[in-house]
Amino acid sequence: MSLKVAHDCSRDLPRMHFVYASRHGELKRTTDMLSDLAAGETLSPTAFSLSVLNASAGIFSMLRHDTAPATAISAGASTFGFGLLEAGLQLAAKPNIPVLFVYADEPAPAVYGGVAADTGPAHAVAVLLSCDAPLRIICNVLHFTASDSSEPQSATFLRCIEGNATASSTWRGEGRTWTWHRDGVPA
């Protein structure tokens, strides 16, 4: 699903940077490999190479025949926000090069207990950041001690993008409050 949204969003741009973020990455594949090891089975080199966090970024760059930089990020429940922040910082550093941000996650396998529910349903989001984008989103991050949001951070961000011209969305978790709002709308 991450490759699908990356392809659809990149619009075959000839040059861009790529930031991939996932809280759990390929955890199901990794868990299956651990089960195989516990059963005394031989690991597949292909499965192993696809189990790392940056596997989607690597496959996407190979599909595009692109040697541009790619970054992979995992940062707990705030992975979406920190990945988007990294993409924004890359754009600020080189404003003439668009940055494709892709976030993908799915629930962790049941063996991990309560962590499985933390990501919401399997989903992927792609956002193309460029200086000439028709929509500008501003993010504020503050330290906060209120109760955590019940939805994934990515769902909160999407409400801001999909909302009306005055859309603003707030997510709380890990001691922080992330607020996204459209440019010109007070936080």
- Rounded mean pLDDT for each run of 10 residues along the chain, 187 residues in total: 94 90 89 93 89 90 90 93 96 96 90 71 94 88 85 90 78 92 63
- For residue 129, the tally of other CB atoms under 10 A from its CB is 20
Q: How far is CA 128 from CA 16, 120, 122, 134, 185, in A?
A: 9, 23, 21, 11, 21
Q: Are residues 56 and 128 in the same domain?
A: yes
- What is the pTM (predicted TM-score) of this model? 0.87
Q: Are residues 14 and 50 in the same domain?
A: yes
Q: Are residues 11 and 44 in the same domain?
A: yes
Residue recorded with tokens 């005055």: 166
- For residue 134, the tally of other CB atoms under 10 A from its CB is 5
* Helix or strand (DSSP H, E) at 37: helix 27-38
Say which DSSP state 75 is in.
Answer: B
Q: Which domain holds residue 106?
A: 2-133
Q: Are residues 124 and 179 in the same domain?
A: no
